[in-house]
A and B are shown apart, each in its own frame.
Chain A
Amino acid sequence: MLKVFTTTGKYVMLMKRVFTRPQKRVIFTNQLLTEINNLGVDSLGIVAFISMFMGAVVAIQTAYNIDNPLIPMSMVGFTTRQSIILEFSPTVISLILAGKVGSRIASEIGTMRVTEQIDALEIMGVNSANYLIFPKIIASILINPVLIIFSMWLGILGGWIAMTASGLVSTNDFVRGIRVDFEGYTIFYALTKTVVFAFIISSVSGFFGYETKGGALEVGQASTKAVVFSSVIIILFNLILTQLLLT
């Protein structure tokens, strides 16, 4: 228990150093653009692949489970939309990003720590926590909502392709289902979760990378810890945010 408090304390202290004004705006802007590319654009492929197939699976499973003739087939489109927007895209894709982006951040910063590159920054008079972690947090907060909207769109598209290809549901029924009882608030809810999860992924991974001590083995351990802790915290915050925003 004491370890949890110590680690939380260290995390808060690190965030205090991270959230300061960057040394130079031009350098920060360049880093931000690089991180948007590294953390966001590089993740487009995996997000697209998983979203398309998951959307298709959700639609097929829903269609096979509707055996009551009183339930309209447009329910498939409705269920696919709700599942994708409310839970799959913001939470499951964030968990996947926790694995992909989180391990990248932790191993990059961890390697810099064990090869004394962070010490070199400190000796030069650079606030290394701010220089290394702040652009990653801001980049994640900016690019993850874009990835999630992209995922929502592709998930629903995957569902539609699966339905029309298999002939289980007609395009008309599927599209009617997508449009029925749509509330814009669900998008707000999903994007709010996404922003919180983006912060968790980048800051927790940055923390574990920054606190790495030792060598290559410890960098691997930091990377694993970053993914595990980010995922657990995301799951906890998913419950808290759902309770706060949907009830």
Chain B
Amino acid sequence: MIEARNIEKSFGGHHVLKNASCLFEKGKTNLIIGQSGSGKTVLMKCLVGLFEVDKGKIFYDDRDFTTMNFEQRKTLRREIGMLFQGGALFDSMNVEQNVMFPLNMFTTKSLKEKQERVNFVLHRVNLENVNSLMPSELSGGMRKRVAIARAIAMNPQYLFCDEPNSGLDPQTSGVIDHLIREITQEYNITTIVNTHDMNSVLSIGDRVVFILNGELWWKGNMETILHTDNPELNKFVFGTELTSRLKQ
């Protein structure tokens, strides 16, 4: 479980997050939705400590992340996996080396054990015989799946996904979404997904929070979001031609 309490974050004079509080539950896919520029990515980067919050507290299962020093954060981060928007695979390493990287860094496993683990997680994300390929040789969907494999290689307790579907076709997006949900339930981890893709919301949104202009506007799930009377959320959910026609 991850809890954010009264988070505030500004850049220069621009107030990006305003008193944001939310609870992300274990074993569920917690979605943060909102328009581009609404503060989703900033909130996620605050949660993982890539940005320091100006005010407020962040708790990882009752461990206060905001008061931790550099070393304590380093230790906690070994329990965190993150899937970045572009995958963030290391260009100089092939798929196997990318996935093996955290194992090389933080475990004392033998090469054989590490290779077994790599093959296991690659198989888990439905990738076979790609170990020797370089990131530049992979498609967008494959890059995302390798990034997921790397994120789960160390058996994380917390999984963060920043716009996992960006740049992917709807079918591949669906595959990635379901993979994230399966992994969340299988390993009983706390997963937080940043997205503005309504397909993701409706298929994997166990819990959904809607952010508008840095403020938390609405909380619910994939069922309640379609029947909300919140005008701002309605504008977001039914903002496209397709969804508005479907609503009619």
Q: List 9 A-B residue pairs with CB atoms under 8 Å apart, sorted by A's residue number.
A: A27-B105, A117-B88, A117-B89, A119-B84, A123-B80, A124-B102, A125-B73, A125-B77, A125-B80
Which A residues, 67 to 120, have Cβ-Cβ distances below 8 Å to chain B? 111-112, 115-117, 119-120
Is B238 part of the contact surface with A, judged by Cβ < 8 Å? no
Given A24-B104, A27-B105, A127-B74, check contact A122 B86 (CB 8 Å). no
Output the residue of A23, A125, A126 with the most chain B CB within 10 A: A125
Residues in chain B near residue A27, CB distance under 8 A: 104-105
Chain A 121-142 interface 0/1 with B at a Cβ cutoff of 8 Å (1 = within): 0111111000000000000000
Give which listed residue, B50, B75, B101, B154, contacts A122 with CB less than 8 A: B50
B145 to chain A, nearest CB (A): 15
A59 to chain B, nearest CB (A): 42
A29 to chain B, nearest CB (A): 13
Is B43 part of the contact surface with A, judged by Cβ < 8 Å? no
Contacts beyond the supplied A124-B78, A124-B105, A125-B106: 16 A-B pairs with Cβ under 8 Å: A111-B91, A115-B86, A116-B84, A117-B91, A119-B84, A119-B88, A120-B82, A120-B90, A123-B48, A123-B80, A123-B81, A123-B82, A124-B106, A125-B73, A125-B74, A125-B80
B104 and A125 within 8 A (CB): no
A106 to chain B, nearest CB (A): 16
B90 and A124 within 8 A (CB): no
B104 and A123 within 8 A (CB): no
Give which listed residue, A24, A120, A125, contacts B84 with CB less than 8 A: A120
Residues in chain A near residue B105, CB distance under 8 A: 23-24, 27, 124-126
Chain A residues within 8 Å of chain B by Cβ, number: 16
B155 to chain A, nearest CB (A): 13
Chain B 28-69 interface 0/1 with A at a Cβ cutoff of 8 Å (1 = within): 000000000000000000001110000000000000000000
Given A24-B105, A123-B80, check contact A116 B74 (CB 8 Å). no
Residues in chain A near residue B84, CB distance under 8 A: 116, 119-120
Interface size class of B (residues with CB under 8 A): 20 to 34
Given A122-B50, A125-B75, check contact A116 B88 (CB 8 Å). yes
Look across to chain A and name the residue whose beta carbon is closest to the beta carbon of B89: A117
B44 to chain A, nearest CB (A): 11
Closest 6 CB pairs of A and B: A125-B77, A120-B88, A116-B88, A125-B74, A116-B84, A123-B82
Cα–Cα distance between A126 and B84 once the two chains are bound (Å):
16
Chain A 206-218 interface 0/1 with B at a Cβ cutoff of 8 Å (1 = within): 0000000000000
Residues in chain A near residue B213, CB distance under 8 A: none
A116 and B85 within 8 A (CB): yes
Chain B 200-228 interface 0/1 with A at a Cβ cutoff of 8 Å (1 = within): 00000000000000000000000000000
A117 and B50 within 8 A (CB): no
Look across to chain A and name the residue whose beta carbon is closest to the beta carbon of B147: A120
Residues in chain A near residue B81, CB distance under 8 A: 123
A125 and B78 within 8 A (CB): yes
Residues in chain B near residue A119, CB distance under 8 A: 50, 82, 84, 88
Cα–Cα distance between A120 and B86 once the two chains are bound (Å):
11
Residues in chain B near residue A123, CB distance under 8 A: 48, 50, 77, 80-82, 160
B53 to chain A, nearest CB (A): 16
B75 and A117 within 8 A (CB): no
Look across to chain B and name the residue whose beta carbon is closest to the beta carbon of A131: B105
Cα–Cα distance between A116 and B41 once the two chains are bound (Å):
13
Look across to chain B and name the residue whose beta carbon is closest to the beta carbon of A27: B104
Look across to chain A and name the residue whose beta carbon is closest to the beta carbon of B150: A120
Residues in chain B near residue A23, CB distance under 8 A: 105-106
B101 to chain A, nearest CB (A): 7
Residues in chain B near residue A124, CB distance under 8 A: 77-78, 80, 101-102, 105-106, 154
